[in-house]
Amino acid sequence: MQLRVGMVGYAFMGAAHSQAWRTVNRVFDLPARARMALICGRDAGKVSEAADRLGWDASTTDWRDLVTRDDIDVVDVCTPGDSHAEIALAALAAGKHVLCEKPLANTVSEARAMAAAAAAAQAVGVRSMCGFNYRRVPAVAMMRQLIADGRLGVVRHVRATYLQDWIVDPQFPLVWRLQKDRAGSGALGDIGAHIIDLTQFVTGQLISGVSAVTETFVRERPLPAGSSGLAASVDGDGHHPSVGPVTVDDAAVFVARLDGGALATYEASRFATGRKNALRVEINGSLGSVVFDLERLNELEFYDATRPTAEQGFSRILVTEGEHPYMSAWWPPGHIIGYEHSFTHQMRDFIEAVATGVDPTPSFSDALQVQLVLDAVTRSAELGSSWADVEPALV
């Protein structure tokens, strides 16, 4: 069986997905083969160059054509958040399986529409999944397994941080990720969404309410070169100002309750000087604790409180053995993997689900649940950190 993939977008995430589509069938033995059929972008010259560089058969500038063509089976959405809903809804309506980057959408109402459409499409065998790739890091999958097996006992604390520093310089330009109408939110939706999903995934508990603060430390930034066409960049007199307003959060910090009884803290920031892409999650339970640190993604720290007192202490598990999730397909024992492999594993799980007629996870409904948390964080922060309940997604 062949799955002909059409991908929309070719920047950072498009490149990461391309690498994964290219690799997945070379490494994993799967019931279907992905064919990198068509890539789409707005600029004909640039997307054609991207097709050559990233290994796609052909390129187009028309995503509406891509999602309706008979020779495309899967649509992979790697665009900024403001077009996720439109592209994914059109693709589902055309009967295509859809993989959509995170966060699922820019608003709860868009995410709700996408989850409803995905649920309806499921009934006729059309599959959809949201790209929370860190679920597919072997150490994260193992963390989930340890908790599901009861090795931590009752989970009491969740401590999650995702820290970056790429906009500390106030002269860093006003790129799309800093504009609410394009990105939905800032650090919160871009990297906070990852730790929300990851902690819900590993604990099996959902966030039921939050109290939050958010901050935009630098409120105006230079417009990127060539962006004078931005609506926000033209003032009342038709002049082109050289700076524009930052309309998203630079950092978001919140406490939360999980529906299984755990207390949690979350911090997502693009102002953590020196922290480039630092995601860390620690879970404490009645029988033990476990820690995942993305900068050491082949490892887990595990504290087993059931061991004899004299032997207790955090131990380091190297998650590189054939017994560990995803690892048997790669290299001999002890050989490490990296960031890009999480995307290859994501494509592996997606292809297998589509080919065997199973619904992959995280579903659009799971991703709606994350969107509801993002929304609750924003509401709480706007109301001076007052408690905001998170309603269940119910799709």
223, 230 in Cβ contact below 8 A?
Answer: yes
When the beta carbons of 88 and 297 are compared against ligand SOE, the nearer one is 297
When the beta carbons of 30 and 374 are compared against ligand SOE, the nearer one is 374
When the beta carbons of 12 and 274 are compared against ligand SOE, the nearer one is 12
Of residues 62 through 101, those in contact with ligand SOE by CB under 6 A are none
- 123 touches ligand SOE by CB under 6 A: no
Peptide bond into 31 cis (omega under 30): no
Of residues 174 through 193, those in contact with ligand SOE by CB under 6 A are 190-191
When the beta carbons of 284 and 342 are compared against ligand SOE, the nearer one is 342
Which residue blocks in the chain are alpha helix, DSSP H? 12-27, 44-54, 63-68, 84-93, 108-122, 138-148, 180-183, 187, 193-203, 339-356, 364-382
Of 54, 373, 341, 31, nearest to 209 by C-alpha is: 373
Half-sphere exposure of 80 (CA within 13 A, CB side): 14
| Distance in Å, CB of 37 to ligand SOE, minimum | 25
| Distance in Å, CB of 267 to ligand SOE, minimum | 15
When the beta carbons of 33 and 276 are compared against ligand SOE, the nearer one is 276
When the beta carbons of 12 and 29 are compared against ligand SOE, the nearer one is 12
Q: Tokens 């730790």, residue?
A: 195
- 236 touches ligand SOE by CB under 6 A: no
| Distance in Å, CB of 9 to ligand SOE, minimum | 12
- Local structure of residue 223 (DSSP, 8 states): P
Tokens describing residue 16: 């990461």
* Spatial separation of the C-alpha atoms in residues 233 and 114, rounded to whole Å: 31
When the beta carbons of 136 and 324 are compared against ligand SOE, the nearer one is 136
When the beta carbons of 54 and 126 are compared against ligand SOE, the nearer one is 54
| Distance in Å, CB of 12 to ligand SOE, minimum | 6
- The CA-based angle 300-301-302, given to 5 degrees, is 110
Of 64, 80, 99, nearest to 345 by C-alpha is: 99
Peptide bond into 80 cis (omega under 30): no
Q: Which residues are within 8 A (CB) of 7 and not within 5 positions of it... i.e. 6 or more apart?
A: 14, 17, 18, 21, 36, 38, 39, 40, 56, 75, 76, 78
Longest dimension (CA), the chain: 75
- 164 touches ligand SOE by CB under 6 A: yes
Q: Tokens 């160059």, residue?
A: 49
| Distance in Å, CB of 377 to ligand SOE, minimum | 17
Which residue number is nearest to ligand SOE in terms of Cβ?
190
| Distance in Å, CB of 191 to ligand SOE, minimum | 5
When the beta carbons of 191 and 395 are compared against ligand SOE, the nearer one is 191
Size of interface with ligand SOE, in residues (CB under 6 A): 5
Q: How many residues can be counted in the chain?
A: 395
Half-sphere exposure of 155 (CA within 13 A, CB side): 29
**Contacts with ligand SOE, 341-360, as mask; x by CB under 6 A:** --------------------
Of residues 3 through 42, those in contact with ligand SOE by CB under 6 A are 12
Of residues 294 through 313, those in contact with ligand SOE by CB under 6 A are none
| Distance in Å, CB of 163 to ligand SOE, minimum | 11
Going edge to edge, which strands form the sheet with 33-40?
A: 58-60, 33-40, 2-8, 74-77, 97-101, 128-131
Of the candidate residues 2, 109, 277, 328, the single one contacting ligand SOE (CB under 6 A): 277
- Local structure of residue 388 (DSSP, 8 states): E
| Distance in Å, CB of 278 to ligand SOE, minimum | 11
When the beta carbons of 277 and 312 are compared against ligand SOE, the nearer one is 277
| Distance in Å, CB of 44 to ligand SOE, minimum | 26
| Distance in Å, CB of 289 to ligand SOE, minimum | 25
Q: Which residues bind ligand SOE (CB under 6 A)?
A: 12, 164, 190-191, 277
